[in-house]
Amino acid sequence: MPDPADGIGMVWILIIAFALATLASGAAIAYVAGATAVLSFFAVDAGRYLAILPQRVLSQLDVFTFLAMPLFILAGELISRGGITRALIDFSMLVVGRLKGGLGHVNVATSIFMAGISGSAVADAVATTSALVPEMERRGYERTYAAALTAASSVIGPIIPPSLVMIFYGALMNVSVASLFAGGILPGLCVAAGLFTYNAWAAHRHDHPGGLASDMPPLLPTLIRAGPALLVPIIVIAGIVFGVVTPTEAAALTVLVALAVSLFYALLDPDTSFSRALSITMRNANAALERTAILTGAIFVILFAAAIFGYLIAIQDVPQMIRDLVASAGLTGVQYLILVMAILVLAGMVMDAMMALVLLVPLLVPAAIAGGADPVHVGVLVCLNLTLGLISPPFGGCLMVVSATSGVKYLTLARAIIPMFVIEVVILLVLVLFPDITLFLPRMSGLVP
């Protein structure tokens, strides 16, 4: 077997270039990941190891935590079809609507509440764009600003639990998903605080509407409508953080609550009988199951590819090479972690988040942990970093979705979101330098020492 160090850098550059080229051709990421993973064995002259690959990969995917992923997807699909976005917007209006720039604050607050339900930035972006951007424009906000704020706040979704990317990361890097969920709460709120601050500044600079004279939704009906939806994040966050349920059990409970909440919202229409409400709920459930099956299949193909890459990286002993390079360069733990974050931010500008997770994280993260970084802290940072790629030009997935939904030109939206993107990168740097912010809740709940 040839020395793994010979040409290893060029080989991995070629592998990443192939993945990017295939993605640019329009192929689905699941196919790109699988093809790149298999071809990479031939690229490093390790094709003979493919014979035992199925057994090794299937053993790596036989992880109980993975059951949480399709269940959380199903819960998010059920709730997104159950009409709760309007209820959460009205509730957010009660909380922050009377502030200057109130609807902008409502936009961010809604993303916080939605984050505790769907765990998907794209799903949150679609729901809040359709509901809030036209309303913000009607009340005097520029459509471009409203769309940019919506896209920027969607980043909160995958950081505050539940989070599909954290489940993926936890299984890939063998890190406790419960610890990642607990660790993501305060960083997610820090991102929200940064956006609240920026929106307050923009409201005074551009004289956005809002204040004590703002129209408010009625208190009691709003609380009644929003209450069931708010049960979902309570079940997920409190149950996992306090050790009452595992992430997988929390996901199963969330599906049951989502079904009940969907039925509840269907029954709120006075013209809808119980039998019709039940029929609507079951129809939504069938559509949600179909969508969940499609998404789960694609995700598990990516997981399969990730396991293949993990096997290849182990054969080539790449993490040890990177650790040797870090040691020879004299980088400290924090310095190397900042370097990793910079690489992932740049990668997020041109790569899909899942593809970056599969290709780069197993290469870069082990050296950071070996250098003394806490695995949970690094995991939350990586998940936040990769999520930022969804709003970073030129290929941000959330930017594309918000642009298509709002009607704002993509390049115009990409320019408008730059100040908010910079704020979120600064928050990421603060979290790198102060790991206690991330680790406070996991330590308080006994999930990490």
pLDDT computed for residue 3 by the predictor: 47
* Domain tally, the chain: 1
pLDDT computed for residue 210 by the predictor: 67
Quote the distance between the C-alpha of residue 153 and its chain's center. 11
d(CA 31, CA 50): 18
> Does 418 map to a domain?
yes
> Does 1 map to a domain?
no
Q: How far does the chain reach from its first CA to its final CA, in angstroms?
A: 42
pLDDT computed for residue 380 by the predictor: 94
pLDDT computed for residue 434 by the predictor: 94
Predicted confidence band of residue 1 (pLDDT cuts 50, 70, 90) = very low
**Average predicted confidence (pLDDT) for the chain:** 79
> Does 2 map to a domain?
no
| Residue range 300-319, pLDDT digits in tens | 777 777 677 667 766 766 66
Range of the domain at 52: 8-444
Predicted confidence band of residue 230 (pLDDT cuts 50, 70, 90) = confident
pLDDT computed for residue 283 by the predictor: 87
pLDDT computed for residue 191 by the predictor: 95
| Residues in Cβ contact with 13 at an 8 Å cutoff, skipping those fewer than 6 apart | none
Residue 6 confidence (pLDDT) above 60 = no
pLDDT computed for residue 2 by the predictor: 45
pLDDT computed for residue 385 by the predictor: 92
d(CA 365, CA 371): 10
Q: What is the mean pLDDT of the segment spanning 83-97?
A: 76
Concatenated DSSP letters of 45-82: T-GGGGGGHHHHHHHHH--GGGGHHHHHHHHHHHHHHT
> Does 164 map to a domain?
yes
- Phi first, then psi: give them for residue 375, nearest 5 degrees: -60, -35
Q: What is the mean pLDDT of the segment spanning 25-38?
A: 64
d(CA 449, CA 439): 9
H/E segment holding residue 380: helix 375-388
Q: What is the DSSP letter of 50?
A: G
pLDDT computed for residue 82 by the predictor: 67
What percent of the chain stands above pLDDT 70? 82
Residue 16 confidence (pLDDT) above 70 = no
> Does 278 map to a domain?
yes
Class of residue 219 by CB neighbours under 10 A (exposed 0-12, middle 13-18, buried 19+):
exposed
> Does 449 map to a domain?
no
Q: What is the mean pLDDT of the segment spanning 39-58?
A: 73
> Does 3 map to a domain?
no
Please report, as a single letter, which amino acid is at residue 174. N
pLDDT computed for residue 405 by the predictor: 82
